Every structure is written in structure tokens, then in C-alpha cells.
Chain A
């Protein structure tokens, strides 16, 4: 073993240790390893940075932009609401997520599914008071499990198929080597489906116990509550629905205090109350929930003119100072909108519930207003003596609902494009890039929103991991590992051989890409099958295809695991805790099914 191979081995152990402590970001750790490899001369500069130009990395980046388009138009919640419904418990929610996702991912690329579902689930979990951290990791795992059921479920399966084809072409019908026939769409399914079912069952059983639930919204004694008025649009989907059906009942940190209609005011609003066009709904709740409320399709703050598009896109909180000329005037009378160029959405007055319309509230010093204002508003009003503090919120105010269908259309085209990318001879990256460009060109999201949506940390980790994988191959560490593992079980029979092969591929897939792990393991498998005296290579090929994907115990095994890390607030050890048993379970089931069929 050369010193370079030792170095790479030591660095990998150090990296795993550093990740397991959870004290450092994964991007910092992987870049640190990459820098060490670069400076030690194991990798030259070109090899070290080549991962950042990998089409996979760019595809993920572009999919983030596509997801931003869907999110900013409200297209995601439109898709999600009928699918996902309104589950009452985390278990019901998990069930509703993992099964459809697994089926989808059997036929679609995993990465776009996860990219789309992350924002979808975070909105949905907030509205339904579910713990997001109990949904995202199961989501990623379910896509991976689903991907193992068909040939097109994940690109690794296709790589194994092409390896099989090459092998069949180069060993035509010779009697002394194991034979393999063509790999078809469902060759892998007899093993993949039981594995996926076992995995999903495990997720539902153990998912809640092993994942922490994040803290929910806090409605304490001394919470600062806003009064908000929202008007139901004439063409809103909520018209004719009950409060319960419209999803306005169980909002976290927010409640519907009354409905004002042409002639009457409904004070105690029951869940069966039907909504009508032009109803004014008065809510009381916390800042964050008020922000969520702005994202509902068909609701508009009362300050915005009827049937007008919402003109501004930033949310800003201000406190009225005692020197403000607004003091003693009502919002409408003081012509807030004309004077300041911003719309008042909600008002908070220390522990007092406001009566009457927001426009008629007479302002006092210390009233806190929530405004919808144009970009740059807070900069120009930051030091104005009219307000004591100006606080801008980073997210946009309201989705562009009128473009929701457009964004869904673009998504469908992308999904079709990605599914048939191979047939069309176009790369997945091109499809994702075209989709992202379409989202921006059709104004489903703005440039700054697109820019903000990209999770650079994930891209850095994926890009840097390529460099690490390159070092493992270049120094011969990977093939050395392979010889050691298989040497240990030589002569122990085909089942032990398969188990060893499975374990080996699993370890490789953590550090090098899934596809590279499959490529590396395949010749070893052919060799091993011959030693074991097998006539059919198919079980070994299936072992490789499964093991290359089914690594759950680290965030590095599959890029979707990495993508949910930040949004779900996971640590490295969360993967070990939930994914470790799952990895073993899948391996055991796969080998058992293969052994039974042999």
C-alpha cells in the first residue's frame, strides 16, 4: 500500500469522525479533506475541482431553481393539498408521503422528486402542525427505496445494465464463465420490491421513534399577537367551502376570530361556517403564522384594492414612534399607503384586541405594523423618525398565484423530459437547465429568489465528494478494499460471497458516487462468481445495483440524503440512528430473497 493510499484512508476516517461529532458543517469538512489531498499532491488541481463541473451537481442546482418557481407561485401547495390531505398525526403524514413517493420514484429520477417535495412538505407541515424533521428523511429514504424497483428508477441501475450488456458482449456463450442474460425493466423488481416494502414498513414503524420532532410554534402567555384582516377573493377556490375545508381551522399560532360580511359579523366562527366571496376574515396570531397566511390562494389583505394584483413583495415590521406624524390618525385617514408606499397587513397593540376595521384603527405610539412593501423600502425608511425600528423579513410576501398553473406545466415538461432524457439523447442537465430558464423567463420566480433558493452547501459537498472518490480510485485504495473483503470470504459459498459483495459496494458508495461504486464492484463480482462456480451472474449484478443505492447510514451515500440535511435540521448521527438499521435490514432482505430464489 502506498503512502498516498494510507493518507486517503486516514483522511476518510478523520472525515467520518469529524462529521459524527456534528460540530462542523459537512461542506467545511469535505473541503478540508479536499484541500489536504490537493496540498499533499495526491490530487492535482484539475482533478480536485473537476467535481464542481459534474453535470449531476449542476442538475441539482438547476432543480433548486425549478422548485423555487413552484414555491413562489404557490404551485406546490396546489399540487400538495389534494395529494397529501390534512393528516392528524405524524404517522398518517408519513404514510401519505412515503408510499406515493416510492411509487413515483420507481419511474422518475430521485433528485427532482426530493427537490420538489422539500419546500412542499415544509409548507404543508407548518399548516398541519406536523414535525418536518419526521418527514424529510423518510422522504429521501422512500425515493431511494422506490428507485430500486425498476431499471429506470435510478441511474445506477442503468449503469449496471450497461455493464451487464458489455459483459454479455465480451463473453458470448463461453462455458467456463458465468453467463448473464439481458437486464430488462423489471429484472430487479423481484428483489427490489420486497426490499422496498420492508424498508417502508420499517420507516413507518421506527421513523417516529428515532427522529426528534422539531419544536412547534409557540403560543405563550406573553406572546405578541397581530390582528389581520384578509378578504376572500371573488374567484377564490375558498368560496363555498367551509372553514374546515379551506384549511383555516388548525393553523398553528393563529385563529380566526370573526368573519365580517356585508351586514353581519359572525363572532364565534364554527368549522362548518361556509365562506363567501368578499367575506372579511379577521385573524389573530403570531408573526410567522401571519406570514404563512399570506400564502393562501384566494385570500388578500384588506389594504390591497379589490381584484388588483398584490403590488409589493417584501414583508416589513415597523413600530410607530412617539414622534411619528401618524400618531392619532387612522391608517386610512392618515393615507398610509399614499404617504409611505406600503400596505398595512396587520396591527399589533400590546395585549389589546383591536375592534373595527384595520383601516379605522387610530394609531398610537408603540403600535407595531406589519407592512407589505416594495424592495428597498426598509433601506429608505430605516432611519426615518416616524418608526422606532424597521425590520425586514427575508421571504417574499405573497406567492404569484396567477402563475401557479404555468409553473406546474413547466414541472410536467421537466418530469417528462427527465424521464425520456435517455431516449431523446439530451442530458438531464440540459432539461433541468431549460426548466430553470423557463421558470425565470416566465416570471414564476425572480432572479434573486432563484439565487437564494440554491443550497450551495449541498453542491459543495457533492462536488468535493467527487474529488475524494477520485483520490480513492487513483491511489488504489478502492480496489485494495475489494480484494481484502472478497479474500476473507473466498471459498465460503455463493451466499457469503454475495453478502461480502453487498457490504463492499455499500462502503464504496459512501465515498465514491453510486455509479462509480457499481462500476468498481462489477468486475470483482464477475470474478467472484466464477470462483464460486456460479453459472448465472444475474444475482450478483442485482446485489451490486441494490447495494450501490441502498446506503442510508450517512448523508454522503446519496445526494437526496444531503439535500434534506439542512431543511430537516438533521445531524450526522440522525442518519446513523435511523439509516443504520435500515441499511442492514435492506441488505438482509435482499440477500435472503436472492438465496431463496437460487
Chain B
């Protein structure tokens, strides 16, 4: 290996160091490193990283698929299908370990048969919403989600593309093809051990990143009324079952039912159609409240708003002293016709307002929570009627009526991606799904555009370029050879080393590239020792998927990074023990199931 190899290894080492340090964003760091490699390549003329190679990651199908999946998921989120899925999958476990179990089993099971990326992309918003509702920090669940998907991928031959690549090379070498579930002999114990680890030790190691929101001493709390939809999914459920009991930053103050008022609402109170629920809470939680299927704002004024729903959002406005609204009730002031906005809730210095919204007499300094078209802000931001007008984030109303449609599109997409009819592949399925989500208006173009996490895409694309540079300069090859030579001819040690090398490389270059690279080296090593190659191939498959220690090793790790609020250093803390555990489990089992010396 020449100086180029050492140079690119050095750059990769530097990148990892900077990422662990955590002060510079991942995309800036990695793009900077790629720029450096390309520049040095240009200056010296050595084969380090050519411009087209550096760019090739931008047209990588995996990267584009991730991008398109964001749009599909956006459709699921905007229709509220995510919340529904969350209820079904996650339910209401009482403990964190229970929640992890209920999340990991289905995601590992599904990922055995489908691509990990859409699976994780789909679960991320489900988990976020569920965590917000149940006051659990999402950082406790996001990483287990990504890891479970990876573990599940090692259960079948079609679980991940790496398995297919290795079995393809296996068949090319003239051996009898591998069976669909052959890898499960090691994969299943590994998956079980991994999940056990995550639920016990891993649970302690996972950081507690975002404190769950709660009702503080005197927050700016709004009073808001919602009606239970007659014939909706919540009718007949208890408060507890409907998930209205432990909403963060919000409590159910009372229920009004046919002229009676139930003041202290118990968790077992059954909801009936047309119940008016009075909540008190901070603005973020009211945004969440509006995403629940089966309840809608009590004021019928919303229906009369003169703007299509996707263009509406929640806006906070403070009534000024000079406003013509002062001293009049919301109804008398004809708020909707004057401003084309509907008052959803009113906050007055933490006071709880007893009247119905329409009857509240406005005072200077009252903060109104409005549902209004986006243009309201432009029209009123300089108006003296309000002290301040401010949009509330992520508050576009959901399109619940399309929830089933978006789930249907998702199912169709998964079926196409799994069965691959007519030569359609994952990327086709994702593109069709995203197109349909937009065409059927499950999500708007604007929110689709906003939903794409460009930072993740840039990191995926540019870390592919880093991997190419390691291969170009022979650094990857060098590491593989050198480490296997360390085993000194002992078959079992060689097997362990093959696993270790694959695991190491897979954190830096793509899984498939790592598997392909080690495959040929391991094959010649096994031939020299006269050992059966099968355990080696199995170890390569297992190790190539086992990227737990860095976010950049595997795209789903990266995708959960910001929703979980993780730092780079969280990954080695939780993932490194898991990596070692997998190593200790896989190698002996592989050597035991497929004896190294053919009898």
C-alpha cells in the first residue's frame, strides 16, 4: 500500500475523530473530507478519488430510495396513518422494556423479508409520535429500531442485499446454492441475543436526550375544546384506551355531556359521541391533540373557513390594546368574517377560562390560538390589532379521511418491493409510492419537499465516496490481508478474524463492498487451510450487516440520528458492545453448525 492508502485511511480516521468530537455537523465534515481527497487527487495525480467517483454517491440508488421514502412517509404522517399504526403496533406498554420489545419484534420480523430503509423510515414518525404521547424520550427507542431492523435482515437470504451479494458470489464459485433460511441458524440466535442486550444493558446505555414535555408551574396554557366525533373510532372507549390520559403538556379538565359537566375525569370514563372535551395545555401539545383521529375542534366555525385545509395552520396572536376586538366576545366581534381565521383556544396568563370559546370577552394581552390560512401572517404581521403574530410549527391539519388510502399505498409499495413483479425493484416501488401519495393528495408538494432530510442524504452520498477512496488506494485490501494473516493459520482464529475484518470494513465502506472484498480473501485463506468455506461465508454475511458502532456505517442508523437526538458518540457506546456480542455469538455458532474441517 502506497502513501495514498495511508492518506485516505488518515482522512477517514480524522473524519471519525471529528464526528466523535461532535462540534462540526456530519454533512459538513464528510463533504469537506471528500473535497480534500478530490483536491489531493488532482494535485498529485495519484489514484485517490476521481471527481466522477466522488459524485457517484449522489446517483446511488440506495441514496435516492431513501430520499423518495421520505415523501412516502410524509404521506403517512400528513394523513394521520402514522398515529393509527403506532396504536396498533406499539399499543400501551407499561414499561420501557415492554415498549422496546413491542417495537423490535415486529421490526426485526418484517425486516427479515423486506428492505430495512422503508421499514425504518415508516417507523420513525410512529415512534416519535408515540414517545411524545407516552412521555418517553425517543432516544430510548430509535436506536433499538434501527438495530432491530439490521438484526432482522440476517434472518433470511432476502433480508438484506448484502446476503444476496454473498450468496451470489457463493453460487458463482460453483457450490450448491444456499437455502433461504440457512443463515437463520446463526441469525436467529444473534437476533435474540442482540434484542436481549438492547432491552437490558443497552437500555441503560441509551442516552436520555429529550426531556419529555410536562405541564410546568405556570406555562402559557390554553383552554381548548374538542368534540368526540359521533361514529368515530373513539366512541365507547375509555379515556385511558383512547390515549387521552397521559398526554404530555396537556390535561383533560372536564367533559361536557348533554348539559352535565364531569369535572374530575377518571381514566375509566367512557367517551360518547358529541362529548365536548375541555383540555388545558401548552401550544405544542394542542398541535399534537389535533392529530388524534376521532376528535375535532368543537367550534363549527372551522368548517366555514375560506381556505383549503392544507394551506391552513395554527397561528398564535396576542390581542393589542388598540384592537377593535377588545371588550367584545369572539362571537360578537365576528372574528371569522373579519380576519378569515377561527379562534381555537385562548390563553390568559395561565387562568382557566370557563366560557365557551365564542363567549370569551377578549382583553388586551389575551393570546389567541387561531386556525387560519398561511396568508394570515403576512396580512396581519404589521397590524396594530395584534401585538405579535407567530406561526406554530408543524400545525397543518391532518387529512384523516385519507389515512386508509395512504396505508394502502404503503402496503402496495411493500408488496412490489418484496415480490418484485415485472422486474420492478425497490426504487421503482418507492418512486411509485411517492408519486401516488402526491397524486392522491395524501401530502402536499410543499410538505413533501420539507420532509426530505437533505443532511442525511448528503452524508450517505459522501460517505459512499469515502469508501470508494479506501478501495481505490488499496487501503481496504491491505487491512483485510494484514488482519487475516494475524490469525497465523489456525482455522478458528482465521474465522474470527474474517468476521472482525468484515465488521471493521463495513463501518467504513458500504456493506456490500465490504462483503465482496473480504469474500475473495477469505476464500483463498480457507482453501489454504483446507477448511470448509461455508462458515466463512456465513460469518461474512453476518458481519457485513453488523454496523452498530457508527451512524455512517448504515443508512438507517443515520436516519434515526436526528429524530432520536443522538450524538455520534452515542453509537459506539451502545453499538460497540453489541458488535462484540455479535462476534462472540456468531463465530462459535458458525463453527459448530458448519464444522471447519469437513469430516
Contact = CB atoms under 8 A, between A and B. Distances in A.
Interface string A428-458: 0110011011001100000110110010110
Contact of A388 (B51, B218, B387): B387
A173 interface: no
A385 B220 CA distance: 6
Contacts of B337: none
B14 interface: no
A385 B367 CA distance: 12
A368 interface: yes
A446 to B, nearest CB: 9
Interface string A1-42: 000000000000000000000001101100110110011010
Contacts of B316: 389, 391
Interface in A52-80: 52-55, 57-58
Given A24-B445, A39-B428, A430-B51, A322 B349 contact: yes
Given A35-B435, A38-B431, A52-B64, A317 B390 contact: yes
B383 A222 contact: yes
B350 A385 contact: yes
A222 to B, nearest CB: 4
Contact of A317 (B282, B349, B388, B438): B388
Contacts of B51: 55, 427, 429-430
Classify chain A's interface size: 35 or more
A28 B454 contact: no
B384 A222 contact: yes
A28 B36 CA distance: 34
B321 A457 contact: no
Interface string B310-330: 000000111011100000000
Interface in B134-163: none
A434 B35 contact: yes
Contacts of B349: 321-323, 385
Given A224-B382, A389-B367, A53 B56 contact: yes
A351 B322 contact: yes
Nearest to A385: B218
B339 interface: no
B59 A49 contact: yes
B61 A45 contact: yes
B428 A441 contact: no
Contacts of A41: 423
B428 to A, nearest CB: 6
B282 A383 contact: yes
B28 interface: yes
Contacts of A287: 381-382
B432 interface: yes
Nearest to B219: A383
Contacts of B387: 224, 319, 348, 350, 366, 368, 388-389
A457 B365 contact: no
A351 B350 contact: no
Contacts of B321: 350, 366
Contacts of A52: 58-59, 64
A222 B384 CA distance: 5
B216 interface: yes
B425 interface: yes
Contacts of A390: 390
B59 A319 contact: no
B456 to A, nearest CB: 12
Nearest to B218: A385
B440 to A, nearest CB: 13
Nearest to B438: A28
Contacts of A318: 388
A27 B365 CA distance: 43
A49 B61 contact: yes
A220 interface: yes
A223 interface: yes
B427 interface: yes
B85 interface: no
Given A35-B431, A430-B42, A388 B385 contact: no
B304 interface: no
A87 interface: no
B32 interface: yes
B376 to A, nearest CB: 14
A57 B55 CA distance: 10
B449 A457 contact: yes
Nearest to B448: A28
Contacts of A89: none
Contacts of B52: 53, 55
Interface string A121-157: 0000000000000000000000000000000000000
Interface in B285-342: 316-318, 320-322
A50 interface: yes
A46 interface: yes
Nearest to B71: A31
A506 interface: no
A228 to B, nearest CB: 15
Contacts of B438: 28, 32
A429 B59 CA distance: 16
Contacts of A268: none
B99 interface: no
B68 to A, nearest CB: 9
Contact of B454 (A323, A425, A436, A451): A451
Interface in A195-236: 218, 220, 222-224
Interface string A368-395: 1000000000000001010011110000
B55 to A, nearest CB: 4
A45 B425 contact: yes
A450 B349 CA distance: 40
List the 3 closest A-B pairs by CB distance, nearest first: A391-B390, A53-B59, A53-B58
5 contacts: A350-B387, A366-B318, A391-B390, A433-B39, A436-B35
Given A322-B365, A430-B51, 11 more contacts: A31-B435, A41-B423, A51-B59, A55-B55, A224-B382, A224-B384, A287-B381, A389-B316, A430-B39, A436-B35, A437-B31
